[in-house]
Chains A and B, each alone.
Chain A
C-alpha cells in the first residue's frame, strides 16, 4: 500500500484551533475535546525506529536537536501536543485540560488531575507549570529557547491545578509552538533543583508515557512504558530508537527488516513513492524544514557584498536541488514553507552568470577567489556541493569541498570553539522547523551570531521585525513582516535558499504510525496495526 499524504497546513488550520490569540480572544474558555484520564492498555511489543542522531540533551531548556525533542515528548508531559494523522496542524490537550483567553495578555489554564511524576515528586500542579515556564524565560538561565517565552511576565497560580499566564505583550507563537512544543513541558522544581538546576541525558524525573530503560550512546536508546502514566493509551511496551546518521543506511536497515519505522533520504522519495518495499507503506509529507547555502560575511574573503552577491547569482538553484534530491524537491523562495504565513513566492536574485562575473570583476577578485564549502558528509550534501562547485567554477571561483561528520560540522560556526566561526566560508545547512514562522527566522538575529547564525548576518531592521512579528496578532501584518525579513536576508548576500525538505517515511505494515502533518513522528502514539 502506498500513500502520499501532502499536508495542507493553512492559516485556517491555526485560526480554527486557536492558533493566534487575535483569532481566539473572543472565544472565551476553550476546553479541549478530550481530556479524560485514560487507562493505559496493554498491547505489548517493541517498536524499533530510526532517528537521525543520538540524544544529546533532554532538558526542555537546553535540548539541541529534533531527536531530543522527539524523546522529550515521550518522557515528559507537555502542556499541549499536535494532532497526528491529519492534514493541517491542530493542537490537542496533554497536560492542560483547558485554557481560557481572558484577554490578549492573560491566558488562564487548568491542568489535568492525576499526572504523576516518578520518584517522590508527587502530582503535577500549577506551581510546576509556573516554575517550568518562568525557568525557560529566566534571562539568568540563558536558555536558547527563552524567546519561546519572550513576553512572559509571570505565571499566577490560582489553584492547585489552575493558573494564569501573564504576558507583557501579546505573543503570537504561544499556541502554535510554545505550549505544544518543548517549551511547554512541565517539570517539578524539586527534581530540577535536585539535579543542580539543569540536566542533560539523565532525566531526574519522568512524567510522560515512557521512561529511559537503557541508553547505549551512538547505539540505541530503549524507552519503556512509564507505569505512572495514565493520561492516554500507550501501545508498545518498549520503543527502541536507533541513531543512524546516514538515511541511506537507514533505508537498507529498514529493507533488511531491522526497523519498523524510518525517515528516508529526500533523494529516495521518488523511488519509494513508486515502489515501496514489500510489507511496508511509504508516506510523503511536505516538510517545514529548510535547506540553504550560507555565505559567511564575517570571513575576510567574503566581506565584500558584491562578492557575496556574485556567489548568489552564480548558483543554479534548480540544478542544485534537483541533483541533491533526485527530483524529490523543488527550489524554495525562502525559509518559511508555503503553508505558513510569511512564505514568499519568489526570490530576489536568481542565476545570472554574466552579472556575477561583472560583480567579481568590480570587486577585483575575478578568477582569483578560492573558497571552501563545508558540508556534513551525506550523499545529498555532496551532490549539492559538487553542483555549486561547478556553478562557481563557471564564474571563476574555485571551491574546495570539506566534508565533516556531524559532531565536527556542528561546531564549525560556534563562537565557543574559538575563532573558527570566522574561517568558515560557504556551508550547506538544514534546520528543522516548528509550525510558526518565528521559528524559521529566530536563528538569524545578531544575538545568534556565532551560535546558529553562521552567516554573521547582522541587520537591525531584521532584529526589530523579529520582535515585532512575535507580538503582532494580525495575520496579514505578520505575513508582510516575515516576507520582509526574508528579503533582508537575501539582500544581505548571505543566503542562497535551496529547498524545503520533504519528509518520506517507511512504515512497516504491522505498525500504525502517528505522524504530524509535516511528517514528524510522535512515537508514544504509535500503535500496532
Chain B
C-alpha cells in the first residue's frame, strides 16, 4: 500500500539562476515590510537584537550584587529597577537577550539542519530506511519536552548546552518530517530524473536540486519556531534546568520576580516583557513570511 505522503507529486523544476529571482526577492522583502505585521515583527526583533548587541554598553555589571539596594523602583540610574540582590534589571534583561537569541536561533538552526538532512535522507533513500527513520522521528517527537529536559539535565547537569540539546531533540523530528514529505513529493519529478540521466550523484541531487525546492516552507516554520524556543529556554531556566545563575536569563529573572512578586513587581515585568516582545516579533515575522512566500496564500492579502 502506498500512503498519501508517498505519492510522488511532480514539482516544477527550479528556474534558471538569472537576475529574475533576485528581483523577485527584492519584491518579496518590499511586500514583507509593507505588511504592518511584518514591519512590526522586524522592528521588535531588531529591538531585541540591538539590546543584545549593546548590552556591554550598560554601566552596570549584570551579576554584581548589591543587596542593600534591592527592589529599587525604576530610576534614571536603574531603568527597570533592581532585583532581590540589588542587580540592575535592565542590564540583566539586555544580557538575557544574548542567551535567548543565541539559544533560540542557534538551536533552531541546528535542529533545522539536522532535521532537514535526516528528512532528505529518509525521503530520498530506500524504503526500509524511510520506515526506520520515520519510526525514529515519531518516537523522538512523542517524548514530552519537560521530561526530556529533566532526563538530559540529570545526565549532563543544567547548562546552555543542555537547553540547546533539548530544543534540537524536540524540534529536529518536525523538520525531518517536513523535509521527508517534501522530498517524497519531488523525488520522481522530471528534472530529478533528468539529473539522474546526466549521471549526477545522489548527494549532488539532494543538495543542489531537492534542497532548494523544499527549504522555503521549512524556513518559514523555523522562523515561527523561534518564539517557541525562546519560551522553552525561559521555561527551563525558570525551573532551574537551564542557564545557571548568576548568568542572566529571562527565565531566571522571571523566577526571581515570581518569588518576590509581593515585594516588587518590576522583576516580573523585566523578565516577562522581553519574552513578550521577542515572541510577538518572531511570530509576526513568521506569519508575514508565510503570507509573502507561501504560494497558496501569495498575493491574496
The chain A residues found within 8 Å of chain B, CB to CB, are 246, 248, 251, 267-268, 271, 319, 322-323, 326, 377-379, 382-383, 385-387, 389-390, 400-403, 408
Contact = CB atoms under 8 A, between A and B. Distances in A.
A248 B63 CA distance: 24
19 contacts: A248-B259, A251-B262, A267-B260, A271-B262, A319-B65, A319-B67, A323-B70, A326-B84, A379-B84, A379-B256, A382-B255, A382-B256, A385-B245, A390-B63, A390-B65, A390-B246, A400-B244, A401-B244, A402-B244
Interface in B234-292: 239-240, 244-246, 255-256, 258-260, 262-263
A403 B240 contact: yes
B258 A248 contact: yes
A389 B245 CA distance: 9
Interface in B115-167: 154, 157-158
B85 A386 contact: yes
Given A377-B240, A382-B245, A401-B244, A387 B67 contact: yes
A386 B70 contact: no
B263 A271 contact: yes
A379 B84 CA distance: 10
B259 A323 contact: no
A382 B246 CA distance: 9
A379 B67 CA distance: 14
Given A382-B255, A400-B244, 15 more contacts: A248-B259, A322-B67, A323-B65, A323-B67, A326-B70, A326-B84, A377-B240, A382-B240, A382-B245, A383-B84, A383-B85, A385-B245, A390-B65, A402-B157, A403-B158
B85 A323 contact: yes
B246 to A, nearest CB: 5
Given A386-B65, A387-B65, A323 B84 contact: yes
Nearest to B70: A326
Given A323-B67, A402-B158, A403-B158, A386 B260 contact: no
A457 B193 CA distance: 75
A281 to B, nearest CB: 17
A269 B63 CA distance: 26
Nearest to B64: A390
Contacts of B255: 379, 382
B246 A389 contact: yes
Contacts of B154: 408
A326 B263 contact: yes
Contacts of B263: 267-268, 271, 326
Contacts of B84: 267, 323, 326, 379, 383
| Residue of A246, A389, A403 with most partner-chain B CB within 10 A | A403
B87 to A, nearest CB: 9
| Residue of B258, B260, B263 with most partner-chain A CB within 10 A | B260
A372 to B, nearest CB: 9
| Residue of B63, B70, B154, B246 with most partner-chain A CB within 10 A | B246
Contacts of A408: 154
Contacts of B240: 377, 382, 403
Contacts of B70: 323, 326
Nearest to A408: B154
A400 B159 CA distance: 10
Contacts of A383: 84-85
A408 B239 CA distance: 14
B66 to A, nearest CB: 10
B246 A386 contact: yes
4 nearest A-B pairs in the assembled complex, by CB-CB distance = A379-B259, A403-B240, A377-B240, A323-B67
Given A322-B67, A402-B158, A386 B245 contact: yes
A453 to B, nearest CB: 25
Contacts of B260: 248, 267, 326, 379
Contacts of B258: 248
Nearest to B159: A400
Contacts of B158: 402-403
A189 B260 CA distance: 50
A382 to B, nearest CB: 6
Nearest to B259: A379
A83 to B, nearest CB: 33
A257 to B, nearest CB: 16
Nearest to B68: A322
A385 B263 CA distance: 20
B237 to A, nearest CB: 10
A390 B67 CA distance: 12
Nearest to B260: A379
Contacts of A377: 239-240
A268 B263 CA distance: 8
A382 B65 CA distance: 13
A319 B255 CA distance: 21
A379 B258 CA distance: 9
Contacts of A389: 245-246
Contacts of A378: 259
Given A267-B260, A379-B260, A387 B85 contact: yes
Contacts of B157: 402
Contacts of B256: 379, 382
Contact of A268 (B63, B65, B245, B262): B262
Contacts of B85: 323, 383, 386-387
| Residue of B63, B255, B256, B259 with most partner-chain A CB within 10 A | B259
